[in-house]
């Protein structure tokens, strides 16, 4: 697990930052809609938690996709020379 954390530290930090911002926004929106403090805290923790996992996975896929396409471009460029 420590190797995973070290290898993905930047993405994990970005995910954590996004999580805090998302919980804050979600709590304000949920309270504005429901007027219920307990319900707003429940909603603000549930939905952003799922979103944070999805965001992390999205970042890893995006990173892999970018690396794959960069390698393809480099291969194509070296074939031209």
Q: Per the structure, how many domains does the chain have?
A: 1
Whole-number Å distance between alpha carbons of 54 and 28 = 22
Nearest Cα to 47, choosing from 71, 19, 81, 7?
19
Sign, CA dihedral 14-19-24-25, equals positive
pLDDT of residue 35: 96
Range of the domain at 24: 2-80
Residues in the chain, how many?
A: 81
Interval 15-73: pLDDT, tens: 889 889 988 998 999 999 999 999 998 988 888 788 888 988 999 999 998 877 777 77
Whole-prediction pTM value? 0.54
């Amino acid at each position: 697990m420590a190797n995973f954390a070290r290898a993905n530290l930047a993405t994990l930090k970005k995910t954590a930052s996004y999580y805090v911002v998302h919980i804050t926004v979600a709590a304000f929106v949920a309270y504005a809609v429901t007027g219920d403090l307990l319900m707003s805290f429940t909603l603000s923790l549930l939905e952003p938690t799922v979103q944070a996992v999805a965001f992390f996975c999205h970042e890893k896929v995006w990173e892999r996709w970018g690396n794959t396409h960069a390698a393809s471009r480099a291969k194509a460029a070296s074939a031209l020379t």
